[in-house]
Amino acid sequence: AMPEPPHVVVSGSNLGQNLGIPIASEVSGTVGDAVTANRLGIPAIALSNGLGSNPQYGTAANVAVVWITFFRDSYIDGTAAATTLNVNIPTCPTGRLRGVKFLPLGYASRVTAYTLNSGTIGNGTLQPTVATQNPVATPNCTSTLANPTNDIEAFNNGFATVTGLDPDLNS
């Protein structure tokens, strides 16, 4: 319906964070819209706010404005790479937003090690050690964690997160 494609697509901000590898199989409409634009060669930003009683929609909008302003010229002249950014702003029940982190997607659960329960290696029973992170936890915006390693950990510790997404959601 548009005479020309847009220079950039901003989807959201919606209520409910979109964190970690689970978004690859259960994509929200917000992330799905941005990924679809990206597949069509249009840079896109998906904005999501954490669950809670006072979502920070203004903060999400400000993040988008700062990003778009910074890359404005490359969006207009078409030199911006067709990327999808997944931006999540926590809703802090106490404390306040602790900053913005650019991080990869985290895993809700993953095997980190194995312990030999019986027998021998190659002919025994192994017990996996599973590390879990809750992608829908209430963030702790008074946390002192300084260096989170992925979007789930950062968000759960009060940071807004920015993650680049592959348009096929496979890396």
- Residue 79 predicted with pLDDT over 70: yes
CA-wise closest residue to 46 among 67, 73, 77, 22: 67
Whole-number Å distance between alpha carbons of 141 and 5 = 39
The pTM score is: 0.86
DSSP H or E run through 22: none
CA-wise closest residue to 8 among 75, 77, 84: 75
pLDDT in tens, 106-115: 988 878 888 8
Whole-number Å distance between alpha carbons of 154 and 151 = 5
* Greatest C-alpha distance within the chain: 69
pLDDT in tens, 5-52: 899 999 999 999 999 886 655 678 899 899 899 999 999 999 999 999
Per cent of the chain over pLDDT 70 is 94
pLDDT in tens, 129-165: 888 888 888 999 999 999 999 999 999 999 999 998 8
pLDDT band of residue 170 (cuts 50, 70, 90) is low
Q: What is the mean pLDDT of the chain?
A: 89
Residue 124: count of CB within 10 angstroms of its CB: 10
- Residue 73 predicted with pLDDT over 90: yes
Q: Tell me the backbone φ, ψ of residue 120, rounded to 5 degrees.
A: -125, 165
